[in-house]
A and B are shown apart, each in its own frame.
Chain A
Amino acid sequence: MNAMGSGKWRKSLTSGFLHVFLLVYALICLYPVYFSLISSFKKNDDIFASPFALPTSFNWQNYVTALELGNIFRYFWNTLLLAGGTVVLSALVGAFAAYALARFRFRFQGVTLIYFVSGLMIPIQAVIVPLAYIFGQVKWNDNYLVLILLFTAFMIPMTVFILTGFAKSIPDELEEAAVIDGCGHWRTFWHVIFPLMIPAIATASTFNFINTWNNLIFPLIFIKKKELSTISVGLLSFFGERTSDYGAVTAATVITLLPPILIYVLLQEKVEKGLTAGAVKG
């Protein structure tokens, strides 16, 4: 009786301690959002005069500026389209490649994986000029389809890396069962492998979405028409040659924080649901 009692007590003490730690760190992470929020109601000079003070009034001017000058809604939709397309394409193409790399045996298997993963090692600034040259020659600027392919190309390395790792851990028996049932490769992939990879796909997709959402250099260089531009480029509007309107920047930031958070929350549910559905149980 006593042993059980002290075990439980120790457990809740540990829990309590963990909660404190997590809470403190969570607050440290939430602080910037809080800071952006209070700054978004101040004028630029006030932000620099008293950065930590609460705003004296709810001045919505910054939000108006963000929406009008920054054309935020338009860019919002554009960025959503690009990021969404990239996520879907990367997930599909990445899953295909991961299937081949994890569930098959062939020569150059290791080399192929390295080939894909080496894409992670490329600093993007370096390849801008060759890409810009190609795009200019073939007149691919402002073309969302090509842009999605471009983003996907840079998302594939991480996606394949993560998915291959996870795919490797799927027990052989499940595949064998499908084959015995008469499934060819295609159906085995869709009915067995893909569903099991969903947590990994959701994880990789979250990252892909964020990376595309925040990416500045590709839209900056490859999108010429203002109305097709993205949020990250839109944020540049608030920077002046010498000083900037940080009030508007923070307001725009607050507005644009929402979709990534939503995507995260949604996809996280998918991770958990996917696990209970296609359970890896015996």
Chain B
Amino acid sequence: MAGYRRNKLVILMFLAPAFLIVTFFEMIPVGSTIYFSFHNWPGIATAPLKYVGLQNYANIFQNDDFLRSLKNVLWYVFWSVIGQVGLGFTLALMIYHVRRGTRFYKASFFLPLILPATSIALIWYFILFPTDMGVVNHLLDSLGLGTLKRAWLVNPNTAMAWIIIITTWSSIGYYTTIGLAALAGLPDEVMEAAEIDGAVGLRRIWSVVIPMIWESIRISVVLVITGVLKIFDLIFILTDGGPNGTTHVPATLMYKEAFEYNNYGGGSAIATVIFLLSIVLSVLSLRVMGSGKREA
């Protein structure tokens, strides 16, 4: 049996397809991006790359917009993890508990995931419409909270918050699905034991079920972190980094530098920073959340 688990040839053969595909189509381009980040290049095929060492990195870290975008994205990640994993798994637990109408709920929560970013932006533009015509403002009025009305997406204080809300809302479906899959894989005996105790079972669920699906929660956290750090489309369409650059995240700045300002080296530097930030935050979160508690 020991030989079974150490057969090098078999290991290699099973890993090879994925390894080759990823290396060629992902890692090599990433390598060139990192390479670009040490050069100045205006994005023209015939223009030479000018080696500038760490200059691009120095530039971006001295740039106020970039630093602000880093701050934005860290908040973004923080609240997204809480919102998407927290709320996502809570919804999964709820669906799991009620057992009826599950197909309806699952399909509903899933829907925002498949909407194209343009549709999401259009709808939320109207929901957050600055005058009384907007749903949010209208609601505030009818609740007697009219003084809280704002031009939500263009107010520097609220724009980022709404972006976080909209993103969370559109991505929760992923994590509800993961949560449900994890819950479905739990052995029946434990769930039955938890059921019998009724309301007290809520606490039982916390101390029994959660640890058993902990692995999938950890995975989800990493997925949220890496996903959020890459988000570009939604922010670009909703606010284009506005108002006045207050909702920029590194990904949108990267796009601007590389594709609008012809500063390809700078854009690549930002991309590399995103890449490294992803790795650091993911490793941190995995460490913090423990090495995965196995079922008994």
A residues with a Cβ closer than 8 A to B are 7-8, 10-11, 14-15, 18-19, 21-22, 25-33, 35-36, 39, 51-52, 92-94, 96-97, 99-101, 103-106, 112, 115-127, 129-131, 134, 149-150, 152-154, 156-158, 160-162, 165-166, 168-169, 175-176, 179, 185, 189, 199-200, 202-203, 206-207, 210, 213-214, 216, 232, 235, 246, 249-250, 253, 256-257, 260-261, 264-265, 268, 271-272, 275, 280-281
A106 touching B95, Cβ below 8 Å: no
User: Quick check: B185 and A119 within 8 Å, CB to CB?
Assistant: no
Would you call B25 and A120 a contact (CB within 8 A)?
A: no
The answer to whether A156 touches B22, judged by C-beta atoms less than 8 angstroms apart, is: yes
Q: Which residue of the partner chain B has the closest CB to A207?
A: B174
Q: Hey, which chain B residues are within 8 Å of A161, CB to CB?
A: 219, 222-223
Complex Cα distance, B229 from A272, in Å, reads 32
Complex interface: chain B residues within 8 A of A200 (CB): 181
Q: Which of B94, B105, B112, B116 has a CB less than 8 Å from the CB of A232?
A: B116
CB distance from A200 to the nearest CB of B (A): 7
- Which B residues touch A35, using CB under 8 A? 123, 126
Q: Which residue of A lies closest to B7 (CB)?
A: A185
Q: Does B30 lie within 8 Å of A127, measured CB to CB? A: yes
Q: Is the CB of A11 within 8 A of B198?
A: yes
Partner of A100, one of B14, B169, B181, B259: B14
Q: Is the CB of B111 within 8 A of A29?
A: yes
Are B255 and A125 within 8 A (Cβ)? yes
Please, which residues of chain B bring their CB within 8 A of the CB of A51? 126, 129, 133
Cβ contacts under 8 Å, B8 to chain A: 106
Return the 3 tightest CB-CB contacts between A and B, nearest first.
A121-B278, A126-B271, A153-B25
Complex contacts, B184 vs chain A, CB 8 Å:
199, 271-272, 275
Q: Which residue of B lies closest to A26 (CB)?
A: B108
Query: Shortest distance in angstroms between A177's beta carbon and chain B's nearest beta carbon?
Result: 11
- Residues of chain B contacted by A29 (CB below 8 angstroms): 108-109, 111-112, 169, 173
The answer to whether B33 touches A32 (Cβ under 8 A) is no
Contact across chains for B18 and A160 when beta carbons are under 8 A apart: yes
How far is the CB of A79 from the nearest CB of chain B, in Å? 12
CB <8 Å contact, A203 and B178: yes
Q: Is the CB of B10 within 8 A of A185?
A: yes
CB of A110, distance to nearest CB on chain B (Å): 11
Scoring B116, B174, B223, B282 by chain A CB atoms within 10 A of each residue's CB, the highest score goes to B116
| Contact between A123 and B274, CB atoms less than 8 A apart | yes
Which of these, A22, A28, A280, contacts B105 with CB under 8 Å?
A22
A52 adjacent to B94 (CB under 8 Å): no
Please give, as numbers and ranges, the residues of chain B lying within 8 Å of A118 by CB-CB distance: 275, 278-279
Q: Contacting A127 at CB < 8 Å: which of B26, B223, B229?
A: B26
Whether A120 pairs with B111 at a CB distance below 8 angstroms is no
Give the total of B residues in contact with A, Cβ under 8 Å.
98
* Max chain A C-beta neighbours (<10 A), residue from B104, B114, B174, B278: B114
Determine whether the beta carbon of B219 is less than 8 Å from that of A149: no
Whether A123 lies near B5 (C-beta < 8 A) is no
Residue of B nearest to A99 (CB): B14
A125 to B230, CA, bound (A): 9
Rounded to whole Å, the gap between the CB of A18 and the closest CB of chain B is 5
Q: Determine if A214 and B215 form an interchain contact, defined as CB atoms under 8 angstroms apart.
A: no
Those of B90-142 within 8 Å (CB) of chain A = 91, 94-95, 97-98, 100-101, 103-120, 122-123, 126, 129, 133, 135
The answer, yes or no, to whether B21 is at the interface (CB within 8 Å) is: yes
A21 to chain B, nearest CB (A): 7
The residue in chain B whose Cβ has the minimal distance to the Cβ of A199 is B181
Query: Are the CB atoms of A131 and B29 closer together than 8 Å?
Result: yes
In the assembled complex, B1 has its CB within 8 A of some CB on chain A: yes
A96 surroundings in chain B (CB, below 8 A)? 14-15, 17-18
State which of B97, B115, B169, B274 has its C-beta within 8 Å of the C-beta of A253. B115
Instruction: Take A22-B98, A100-B15, A123-B229 as given contacts and tell me if A214 and B116 are in contact as well, using a CB distance cutoff of 8 Å.
Output: yes
Flag if B110 contacts A261 (CB, 8 Å): yes
Contacts of B135 in A (CB 8 A): 52
A131 to chain B: which residues have CB within 8 Å? 25, 29
